[in-house]
Structure 1
Amino acid sequence: MIHSDPPTRPDPLAWVAGSDAPEKRVVNLGFMALTDAASLIVAATQGFAQPYGLTLNLHRQASWSNVRDKLIEGELDAAHGLYALIYAVHLGIGGSAPVDMAVLMGLAQNGQSITLSNTLRSASVTDPEALAASVRQSGAKLTLAQTFPTGTHALWLYYWLAAHGIHPLKDVRTLVVPPSQMVAHLRARRIDGFCAGEPWGAQAMQEEMGFTVATSQSIWPDHPEKVLGCTRAFVEEYPNTARALVMAILEASRFIDESRENRRSTAQLIAGGAYVDAPLAAIEPRFLGHYEDGLGHAWQDKHPLRFFGSGEVNVPYLSDGLWFMTQLRRWGLLRDDPDYFAVVQSVQQTSLYRDAATALNIPLPNSLMRSATLMDGSRWDGSDPAGYARSFALHSLADPAVRHVPC
């Protein structure tokens, strides 16, 4: 256990009795073996859910497609999810019928990485410029893996490649691999690199299978990453349960970010075989913001993986949902422009989040739109999503020659 005493909360009994009582008291939560699942693991195992009348049953999943399918089928009530995956299901991308989905809250920002193989390192391909030159000169396409066709890792990889003049759907071959299998694929030389969440980039470096060529926070500092996702039907049938679940995970998120010692104890907890099942030495350094790239460089990252950030991490910003839709559109995964604002207002559960955060005295932003400047200098503020999707020099908005793998 991380702590022996129950955490202090404002008026938890107000949320477990009467009209506010959870309609469903046992919640099945899905998660992947990634460090950014920490807040779910802490909430479920360290006493953050019981005061809100909930028991959280954790279910580790083997792939993001499992997460998607089990959410749709109702086997999972909610899950640690890829932001763009939730939107892809809602929009019916991947050949299946659309299912109304919901983003309850953000779970994490930052903390993903792009890894290249030591074979490329031996060929002096150790930076994006050398990679671009290698792609231009090579007769055979490099194979780069990501974790889900409509997931955040695919979109970070595509964005980073395109920013360096490499078309991600034409100049390289991409492969879908579950995150925990990335290092094995690199070791077997089935892939030349990958984009995934931690600890798998760090593990590749520790095993001397690869090196970190970019972090996701170098693409977009404090970018949105994983969310607490579920179907819209779950929210409508169990609104009190959904709110109580958000409150429990908000408190767990706040606990993790409160101190370096809490971070260390959390890293030790999630390293266990039932959770991330990886060496603590691969988890803890980057969990604490300390990075090495495997090329002799080390730094304390200014934008490390974070879970709370005074509530900034957890707000279901409308602009964050809009951004992921623009990238699905940019790469032709969305064949037409959706009604961006109608979709995002349906998916992002802003009122539910506001009620949960207000009850916990967690600050709320003045606006549900936030702006950012990304690595290529593009400015995102959410005001014109259709125009933004078309603004990039490299895209595949309506290219019939580009084949998309069903997700």
Structure 2
Amino acid sequence: MSPPYPHANINGSDAPEKPNVRLGFVPLTDCAPLVAAKILGLGRRHGLNIELVRQPSWAAVRDKLLSGELDAAQALYGLVYGVQLGIGGPQADMAVLMTLNRNGQAITLSNRLSEGLRQGRSLRTQLAAQTHQPVFAQTFPTGTHAMWLYYWLAAEGLDPLRDVRSVVIPPPQMSDAMALEQLDGFCAGEPWHAVAEAENIGRTAVTSGEIWPDHPEKVLACRRDLVALYPNTARALTMTILEACRWLDAPEHRREMAGWLSGPGYIGRASNLIAPRMLGDYGRTSAHALPLRFFADGEVNHPYLSDGNWFLTQYVRWGMAASSVLDGHLAAEINQTALYRQAAAALDIATADSDTRSSVLIDGRRWDGSNLHAYARSFPIQHDAHAAGHKAK
């Protein structure tokens, strides 16, 4: 396909200082903006040559961003904040250039637990009756999937750090692990929940958009020194991926993308397992599932400070960081709101009036980013950082 934006839109002063950019991605449906940018050649309009590099796990994304093997990557929102705080690994100053998508994740339960829920037995009751400790998988200790899983289990009356064992598994291995009866449930991105249902391994119990309607999910991330050293490159890359997100708004383009993602270099699963949920069709799973959003007239992509701060409150809640992380201006340092506004303005894309937004989550609590300490302390199920023993460095 010929790119929809064939003409360059740069001049000498705006030209990227680093024209060749290596972007990492993990084989998930929401890597679509990076794949669209590559296949459609959108980077050429902004003076960039993009190389996509598939990664086996989020830990690999982290490590290669830190080593410089990747210039930027599709990343879990919480991965960026976890690296910034040095939780469970190396610390580095990180940057969020833009949000890539909202919604589009889920929690799948084993067939046995799913059947119990359909018969009216609570998850808490079922797990308490098991003879083995329940095992739930997520994809990265500080990542979005861990936070959605913990939040949902707590809303169900379960302590995710005591009542279940949480393990980390790369997304493509989730359904296989459940098929081997190693997992009672898992939280990851698509299409791995669709795969589990198609293979009759498990059932989707809740979508992430039901846990936090229109939550932030993946981001375009890099080390902060890349923004400092190569600001034109960072802006050009943001513009390129913004155009890809805009292109993905059209349903016909999403169907085309599902075919591209099914290739062995990307997800490597049949497009009929990718396309339905990418288009918002969850079948019998849930009547309340919010669709995967990539653009929505630019509403999706703004790097809201309140989105980043939410993850900080959860790290404090689960004892992963001391409450002092809520005192500073970490989100304003990480989320490149000024650079994003420049990129969006150059593309005539509207930007948000404020860097904060509000939401009501599945437990009825309202989050608006106005009082981080009070919000973090408001949960009946939480852990102390000193007792947990893995606070931020």
TM-score (normalised: structure 1): 0.92
Q: Which residue of 2 aligns with 1:312?
A: 299
Q: Which residue of 2 aligns with 1:7?
A: 4
Q: Which residue of 2 aligns with 1:120?
A: 113
Q: Which residue of 2 aligns with 1:200?
A: 192
Q: Aligned to 1:236, which of 228, 234, 249? A: 228
Question: Is the contact between residue 27 and residue 54 of structure 2 (CA under 8 Å) also seen in structure 1?
Answer: yes
Q: Which residue of 1 aligns with 2:137?
A: 145
Q: C-alpha deviations, 1:56-83, integer Å up to 9, x for none?
A: 1000100110000000010000000000
- Counterparts of 1:80 and 1:391, CA distance in 2: 32
Shift of 1:89: 0.4
Between 303-312 and 331-340, report the one with greater CA deviation.
Answer: 331-340
Shift of 1:390: 0.9
- Counterparts of 2:214 and 2:254, CA distance in 1: 18
* Residues 163-174 of structure 1 mapped to structure 2, 5 A cutoff: 163-174=155-166
- Counterparts of 1:222 and 1:266, CA distance in 2: 22
Q: Which residue of 1 aligns with 2:379?
A: 392
Question: Is the contact between residue 279 and residue 291 of structure 2 (CA under 8 Å) also seen in structure 1?
Answer: yes
CA RMSD across the alignment? 1.8
3-state SS of the aligned residue for 1:144? strand
Question: Is the contact between residue 22 and residue 54 of structure 1 (CA under 8 Å) also seen in structure 2?
Answer: yes
Shift of 1:302: 5.8
Are 1:100 and 2:93 matched, yes or no?
yes
Letter in 2 for 1:7: P
Shift of 1:260: 1.3
Q: Which residue of 2 aligns with 1:133?
A: 125
Percent of paired sites with the same residue: 51
Q: Aligned to 1:342, which of 321, 329, 333? A: 329
3-state SS of the aligned residue for 1:66? helix
Q: CA 1:343 to 1:239, structure 2 compared with 1: closer, same or farther past 3 Å? A: same
Letter in 1 for 2:42: F
Letter in 2 for 1:235: V
Q: CA 1:152 to 1:349, structure 2 compared with 1: closer, same or farther past 3 Å? A: same
3-state SS of the aligned residue for 1:114? strand
* Residues 184-333 of structure 1 mapped to structure 2, 5 A cutoff: 184-257=176-249, 259-292=250-283, 297=284, 303-333=290-320
TM-score (normalised: structure 2): 0.96
Q: CA 1:144 to 1:128, structure 2 compared with 1: closer, same or farther past 3 Å? A: farther
Q: Which residue of 2 aligns with 1:86?
A: 80
Segments of 5+ residues of structure 2 without an aligned counterpart are none
Segments of 5+ residues of structure 1 without an aligned counterpart are none
Question: Is the contact between residue 87 and residue 390 of structure 2 (CA under 8 Å) also seen in structure 1?
Answer: no
3-state SS of the aligned residue for 1:201? helix
- Counterparts of 1:121 and 1:364, CA distance in 2: 41
Question: Is the contact between residue 144 and residue 174 of structure 1 (CA under 8 Å) also seen in structure 2?
Answer: yes
Question: Is the contact between residue 322 and residue 391 of structure 2 (CA under 8 Å) also seen in structure 1?
Answer: no
Q: Aligned to 1:371, which of 358, 362, 367? A: 358
Q: C-alpha deviations, 1:155-194, integer Å up to 9, x for none?
A: 0000000001000000011111000000110111111110
- Counterparts of 1:215 and 1:42, CA distance in 2: 25
Q: Which residue of 2 aligns with 1:159?
A: 151
Letter in 1 for 2:197: M
Question: Is the contact between residue 8 and residue 44 of structure 2 (CA under 8 Å) also seen in structure 1?
Answer: no
Q: Which residue of 2 aligns with 1:74?
A: 68
Letter in 2 for 1:283: I
- Counterparts of 1:262 and 1:357, CA distance in 2: 21
- Counterparts of 1:101 and 1:144, CA distance in 2: 29
Letter in 2 for 1:44: K
Aligned residues: 392
- Counterparts of 2:348 and 2:69, CA distance in 1: 33
- Counterparts of 1:374 and 1:95, CA distance in 2: 29
- Counterparts of 2:281 and 2:24, CA distance in 1: 28
Q: C-alpha deviations, 1:122-172, integer Å up to 9, x for none?
A: 5x2448952111223334221010001111000000000000100000001
- Counterparts of 2:169 and 2:155, CA distance in 1: 23
Question: Is the contact between residue 146 and residue 196 of structure 1 (CA under 8 Å) also seen in structure 2?
Answer: yes
Shift of 1:393: 0.6
Q: Which residue of 2 aligns with 1:62?
A: 56
Question: Is the contact between residue 290 and residue 299 of structure 1 (CA under 8 Å) also seen in structure 2?
Answer: no
Letter in 2 for 1:221: P
Shift of 1:339: 4.4
Q: CA 1:316 to 1:340, structure 2 compared with 1: closer, same or farther past 3 Å? A: farther
Q: Which residue of 2 aligns with 1:382?
A: 369
Shift of 1:7: 1.4
Shift of 1:44: 1.1
Q: Which residue of 1 aligns with 2:30?
A: 36
